Structures are given as structure tokens and as C-alpha cells.
Amino acid sequence: MNYQFNWQAVITGEYGQWIMDGLLITLQISAVSIVLSLVLGTLIAVMRLTKVRLLEWLALAYTEFFRNTPLLVQLFFWYFGSHAVLPEFVNTWLYEHDFEFGAGVISLTVYTSAFIAEEIRSGIFAIPKTQLEASRACGLSFLQAMHHVILPQAFRIIIPPLISQFLNLIKNSSLVMTIGVMDLMYMARQIESYAGRGFEAFTVILIIYLTISLAVSFLITQYNKRFLRQIAY
């Protein structure tokens, strides 16, 4: 009942620097995972639409598996089992650099890419089939038609839900502290352990996550307004 709040302790000095370092790691792991999940999600979405049955079933199994298993379990799976799943040269590279960071990126990437693949597939389905047929009739291969005609239109349609997935990834990145990645959550726990200022530390990172979320939401709103205005004209 006599707890004295000390906000200065967690936003200045050494502990303030810890939070800034954690924010940098959070932004780094989120940015790398966003780029990789977008690339992988696009590949999985295209595989789902090919006429090659093996690729179609592999893509379906991928999306169903990673969408229906908890991210926390996947984090521990890649952290403890990457040596048994990944090629030797990949494991060597991870161990030579930052293994925890790499395991976190892999987990966030494969998990989010499964959701992104479904968003992209929905966007592709929104494009009239006649456009793909016309592209093929003009001599383009399936992949060329996807690259030059279908995907550019699909991405424009799915930008709002795509940004929502990126936002979810940024928030989900808070779980990587469980495998030792020194992100915002990790630093808040450290401040709580060293200084006993857990309430102040977690309040600060809560505000940081909220600020990021509101900024992304603002971008989504502005895009929707601009997109609807273009349609109206």
C-alpha cells in the first residue's frame, strides 16, 4: 500500500537505455520477419493455386499446420529442435551469429506467413478469372501471369488485412523473450528483477506497443480513405 512510483528510474539512466535497446531488437526482429513472411506467404499462396497436386497439398498442409498450432509452442520447437529440422549450414550460421534471434525470426516468419498466404489467396480470388485466362492466352506462363498481372492487383486489395497481419506479428514478437531474445519484454523483466520496478517498466513498454499499434492503425485508415476515394473517382 506504501508503494512509491518512480517513473524516472525506468525512462532515464541505465534502465532507460535497456528499454531503448529492447525496442531496437523488437523493431529489428519484426522488420526481418515481416519481409520474410511476406515473401514466403506469397510463395505458399501461389503454390495453393497451381495445378501441381503435390505443391498444392504441401502448401495446404503448411498453412493448416502453422495456423492451428500455438506460436509459443512453435518458438520452443524451433529453439530446441532446429538442429534436427534445418540443414547443417543453416544451423552453423545461426550458432555463429545470434541463435536466439534467428530462432525467433524463423518462428514468427513461418507462423505469420501461413496467415498471409490465406490473405493473398483471398485477394487473388477477388480478381476475375478472365484476367488470368487472358494473360495465358497472350502467351504468359502461369508464374508470369501471377507476377505481372494478378499479384499486383491482389496486393492492392489486401493491403489493409496485410498490414493487420504485420501488426499482429509485431505484437507476437513479445513472445520471443521466452527463448532469450532481449526484446522489450525481456528488458522489462530484467528491470523488474534488478530494480523491483515491474509496474513502471511494463507500463512503459505497454505504451510503446500501443503507440506502434495506433500508428499502424492510422496508416490503415488513411489508406482505406485514399483507396475508397480513388474508387469513387
Q: What is the pLDDT of residue 73?
A: 94
Q: Are 22 and 182 in contact, with CB atoms under 8 Å apart? A: yes
Q: What is the pLDDT of residue 9?
A: 76
| Alpha carbon distance 2, 129 (integer Å) | 68
pLDDT beyond 80 at 221? no
Return left, alpha or beta for 140; rule: phi > 0 is left, psi -120 to 50 is alpha, else beta: beta
Q: What is the pLDDT of residue 196?
A: 80
Greater confidence (104 vs 132) lies with: 104
pLDDT beyond 80 at 170? yes
| Alpha carbon distance 117, 162 (integer Å) | 10
Indicate whether this model's pTM tops 0.95.
Answer: no
Residue type, 4: Q
Q: What is the pLDDT of residue 174?
A: 93
Q: What is the pLDDT of residue 145?
A: 85
Task: Note the helical H segments in 50-174.
Answer: 53-67, 71-85, 88-96, 99-125, 129-137, 142-145, 151-172
Greater confidence (220 vs 106) lies with: 106
pLDDT beyond 60 at 1? no
pLDDT beyond 70 at 230? no
Q: What share of the chain is helix, strand, coil (3-state, %, to 5)?
A: 85, 0, 15
Lowest pLDDT segment from 23-27, 48-52, 174-178: 48-52
- If pLDDT is split at 50, 70 and 90, which confidence band does 45 have? very high
The residue ranges of every structural domain in the chain are 7-232
Q: Per the CATH hierarchy, to which homologous superfamily does domain 7-232 belong?
A: MetI-like (1.10.3720.10)
Q: What is the pLDDT of residue 69?
A: 94
For 12, half-sphere exposure in the C-beta direction (CA atoms, 13 angstrom radius) is 4
End-to-end CA distance of the chain: 61
76: CB partners within 8 A, 6+ apart: 178, 179
User: SS3 for 104?
Assistant: helix
Q: What is the pLDDT of residue 228?
A: 57
